Amino acid sequence: LEQYKLLFTRSWREVSRAKFTNVIKCVQQVMTAVIYGGIYSLGNNQRSIQDRFGLLSLVTIGLSNLGIATTIRAFPKEKTIVQAERAKNIYGVFPYFMSKIVAEVPIA
């Protein structure tokens, strides 16, 4: 638990320092919402229920891909640091992985 707290604090600091990246992600999400809002007109009929399901599927897939892409870009930068710290048995893989996910999910 102590490892997780330390790693989460470090990951959160890293995520919150990237202000420009966070602004870009927010703009990207707003633009995606505008595009999806323009494509799907939701009403109270059967066609609208099908549109909602399609929209939900698109949003879920898009957010998953965005989160995965963000994480994949972060790993090469941290690889050498993590390998050195793991060689010294400072922390395990699971606390590192969980802290990265919990820190980056709200931002992604």
Q: Give pLDDT tens digits for 45-81.
A: 877 888 888 888 888 888 778 777 777 777 788 888 8
What is the per-residue pLDDT for 8?
92
Give, as one character, the DSSP assignment of residue 45: S
Which sign does the torsion angle of CA 91, 93, 94, 95 carry?
positive
Contacts with 18 (C-beta within 8 Å, 6 or more apart), sequence order:
none
Which tens digit of pLDDT belongs to each residue from 1-14?
A: 888 999 999 988 98
pLDDT score of 108: 62
The Cα–Cα gap between 76 and 47 comes to 45
